[in-house]
Amino acid sequence: MFTPIKAAAALMTVALTATTAFAANPDVGGAPMFAEKNIIENAVNSADHTTLVAAVKAAGLVDALMGEGPFTVFAPVNNAFAALPAGTVETLLKPENKDQLTKILTAHVIAGDLTAAKLKSAAAKSADGFAHLQTLSGDALSAQVRGNNIYMFDENGNAGKITIADVDQSNGVIHVVDTVLLPK
């Protein structure tokens, strides 16, 4: 028999489960990230990713990253773009450099939903300790675990640390990185 007490307990269980699921996704750039929203819908709310969002718009990649996916995005923070040589971002945002900007941005995107656990597992199984990945641009990224941290290496050997992992999206996952990863 389903009593009012059992009904209340069931509602509390549903509420706690929903709260737990919501709490599992970390805030990014001072904004909550919602697993039911796509990569773009969440990224535009992050104060730490305004340069990335501007670059994605300039490259014409908004619709692609709002697509079904799944995608894994290694999302550089504003400080990562600011660390590039002076004038680099401004130059890349010019319409005549759209192809180069697109290549750089798609070198941060992997087809599939690669969680931190999957990256760690792939690196652990690899003979050289790196998980080797191919990006949407056709370039290579490699993931290496150092202690509790995951570092992403571009084709030039530059390393970026994943500072916030496993930000679930409706069409994939975002890992926040502290470096712009550049293709050759």
Q: Can you give the CATH number for the domain in which 63 is found?
A: 2.30.180.10
Domain count, the chain: 1
Global pTM value: 0.86
By residue range, what is the domain housing residue 26? 4-177
Residue 182: inside a domain, yes or no? Answer: no
The answer as to whether 183 is a domain residue is: no
- 11 pLDDT tier (thresholds 50, 70, 90): very low
User: What is d(CA 27, CA 45) in angstroms, rounded to the nearest whole number?
Assistant: 10
Q: State the Cα–Cα distance between residues 26 and 76, nearest whole angstrom.
A: 16
User: In this structure, is residue 136 part of a structural domain?
Assistant: yes
* Residues present in the chain in total: 184
Torsion angle defined by CA atoms of residues 52, 54, 58 and 64, in that order, rounded to the nearest 10 degrees: 60
Only one residue has tokens 């202690």, namely 147
In tens, the pLDDT along 103-162 reads 999 999 999 999 999 999 999 999 999 999 999 999 999 999 999 999 999 999 999 999
Q: At a CB cut-off of 8 Å and minimum separation 6, what does 7 contact?
A: none
In this structure, is residue 184 part of a structural domain?
Answer: no
Residue 144 has which token pair? 């290496």
The pLDDT confidence band at residue 8, using thresholds 50, 70 and 90, is very low
